[in-house]
Chain A
């Protein structure tokens, strides 16, 4: 069996078995579970049709989690994309020390969301934190950032932007450096200024990167943000920072609402499938396969 018929299947087997066992099988299971009423220890199952979904969407708290997730993701992604693009422009210049700036700016990318959360929890500490100190020196007021309703979500957004920004900068910078000189030169001859070049010439050229970054940042915001939220606010106060993934975690592992959590998994799965579909439908051009 040199370049045999079965070689490719053998090569693919490990990957496919693991994906099947740990992605497809749980996905199917969660789908099935969402149509049953299951006792907390999983020993009794009664078919319930769409009951779990009806219960889920009649639940005020679930709509609140949807709303929080939406606000969190939209705000974070927009800020990350715009700031990421602007900072990448700065880094695309040959100025003194640019390599050092680049290193310092990229650092938040390699630490975890959890550690990012820990750093910000300290800085936002109402007593010893530096943010409140500076704020009170300027305005005379201080804010209990992580325990007050609009501020807790704002804090989560700020910390997430800080953590997620480098990822977008890295990709925009790589994109900017691959734009050919001739395009820039001809725009110079046409008399375009820096601002016009940035938004009317470079931005459209980099739109595939923007698209990719929007998708990746949505994914990160949906799931990885769990670490930042769990460390900084644990979903509070009053559920104002409870996102879909945090709600799923609470329902599944604290309140033992197994069937409800299964329905929540399916909703998350559908949202992610839709995003994946969008990516393949519109972002396909860039990822050449076949």
Chain B
């Protein structure tokens, strides 16, 4: 009997705690959504309003017109898609090499790659990387936004970890049937890795979509900039006080990753944890 009242108290405590925490974590989004529908006069009214007096999409239209948001959305979509595709291809290839083959220099190559795990090149080596881009004539091009990010240690390890769980007997059977290495890769390994690849695709896409520092310095013309730089332009540009427009632009930029998260959150969370941890 005593235990059950205690359980009830715990239950109420947990429920309340969760309500408070989720309220604070989600509050900025609610305010942003609400603000994005407000007229400029409403935004600066005192006391501050929490809800708009009417729903209209004026701020969204202004945001798209003020900075070339449409073009930027296209740029980000292109950059995020191609870096993701690149990372999936190079990552699965490299992981296959490490998981199924024995070869000279394997350990050295493995460590060479592993050392870069926590080294975000686009920030640590940003200056020489930028100079390299300008020597290649890649500044202000999609190449600079895509090519340096088409391979990563993280993806290689994520895929390798998964490939190693696939029974060796499948490989032996494929060999006996006379399948080539690439046939085994495309017909056995890849089809068995659907969820892992999909999860990695989501994580990589979100990461690329959210990149900021590198696109900021490597693109100079508005038509080459990405959405995250667009947010900065809205804040520091002529709209700098028009918070309705800024919030509308911000939400537009956040929308794709939010949609991905709401639709695929279980897969997303599982892959995220898998990429960092191995039980």
A-side residues, CB < 8 A to B, are 2-5, 7-9, 11-12, 14-16, 18-19, 21-23, 25-27, 29-30, 33, 42, 87, 90-91, 93, 95-98, 100-101, 103-116, 118-123, 125, 127-130, 133, 162, 165-166, 170-171, 174, 178, 194, 209, 212, 215-216, 219, 222-223, 226-227, 230-231, 245, 248-249, 252-253, 258, 261-262, 265, 268-269, 272-273, 275-276, 279-280, 286-290
B271 to chain A, nearest CB (A): 11
> Which of chain B's residues have a CB closer than 8 A to the CB of A121?
235
Size class of B's contact patch? 35 or more
> Which of chain A's residues have a CB closer than 8 A to the CB of B107?
290
A179 to chain B, nearest CB (A): 11
B193 within 8 A of A: no
> In this complex, which of A23, A108, A119, A288 has the most chain B Cβ atoms within 10 angstroms of its Cβ?
A23
> Which of chain B's residues have a CB closer than 8 A to the CB of A109?
261
B73 within 8 A of A: no
Closest to B185 in A: A11
A248 to chain B, nearest CB (A): 7
B187 within 8 A of A: no
Contact partner, A104, options B25, B31, B97, B148, Cβ 8 Å: B25
**Secondary structure dominating the interface of A:** helix
* B212 and A114 contacting across the interface, CB-CB below 8 Å: yes
* A12 and B109 contacting across the interface, CB-CB below 8 Å: yes
Interface string of B239-279 (1 = CB under 8 A from A): 00001001100100110011011100100010011001111
> Which of chain A's residues have a CB closer than 8 A to the CB of B261?
106-107, 109-110
- Contacts A/B (CB < 8 Å), 9 sampled: A18-B147, A19-B151, A25-B132, A87-B21, A112-B211, A114-B232, A128-B46, A276-B118, A288-B278
* A14 and B121 contacting across the interface, CB-CB below 8 Å: no
A16-B112, A30-B127, A215-B118 known; A11+B210 contact, CB < 8 A? no
A233–B83 Cα gap in the complex (Å)? 30
Closest 5 pairs (CB-CB, A-B): A112-B210, A26-B125, A18-B151, A26-B128, A11-B97
Closest to B255 in A: A111
Complex interface residues of chain B between 179 and 212 (CB less than 8 A to chain A): 180-181, 206, 209-212
A2-B181, A114-B212, A171-B277 known; A166+B29 contact, CB < 8 A? no
A212 to chain B, nearest CB (A): 6
> Which of chain A's residues have a CB closer than 8 A to the CB of B119?
23, 269, 272-273, 276
* B276 and A216 contacting across the interface, CB-CB below 8 Å: yes
A11-B93, A111-B254, A231-B235 known; A265+B118 contact, CB < 8 A? no
* A9 and B103 contacting across the interface, CB-CB below 8 Å: yes
A245–B124 Cα gap in the complex (Å)? 8
* A23 and B116 contacting across the interface, CB-CB below 8 Å: yes
A194–B14 Cα gap in the complex (Å)? 12
> Which of chain B's residues have a CB closer than 8 A to the CB of A165?
25
* A231 and B231 contacting across the interface, CB-CB below 8 Å: yes
* B213 and A122 contacting across the interface, CB-CB below 8 Å: no
Closest to B89 in A: A14
* B117 and A276 contacting across the interface, CB-CB below 8 Å: yes
* B94 and A95 contacting across the interface, CB-CB below 8 Å: no
> Which of chain B's residues have a CB closer than 8 A to the CB of A111?
210, 254, 257-258
Contact partner, B10, options A120, A123, A194, A269, Cβ 8 Å: A194
A9-B103, A125-B243 known; A16+B93 contact, CB < 8 A? no
A161 to chain B, nearest CB (A): 11
* A170 and B272 contacting across the interface, CB-CB below 8 Å: yes
B120 within 8 A of A: yes
* B101 and A162 contacting across the interface, CB-CB below 8 Å: no
A68–B120 Cα gap in the complex (Å)? 21
* A262 and B43 contacting across the interface, CB-CB below 8 Å: no
B90 within 8 A of A: yes
* A112 and B243 contacting across the interface, CB-CB below 8 Å: no
* B247 and A287 contacting across the interface, CB-CB below 8 Å: no
B97 to chain A, nearest CB (A): 4
B266 to chain A, nearest CB (A): 10
A30–B28 Cα gap in the complex (Å)? 40
A33–B131 Cα gap in the complex (Å)? 11
A107-B258, A108-B25, A112-B212 given; name 19 further pairs at CB < 8 Å: A8-B106, A12-B93, A19-B116, A26-B129, A90-B17, A90-B18, A100-B22, A108-B28, A110-B261, A115-B228, A115-B231, A122-B247, A133-B46, A227-B228, A258-B127, A265-B126, A265-B127, A268-B123, A290-B110
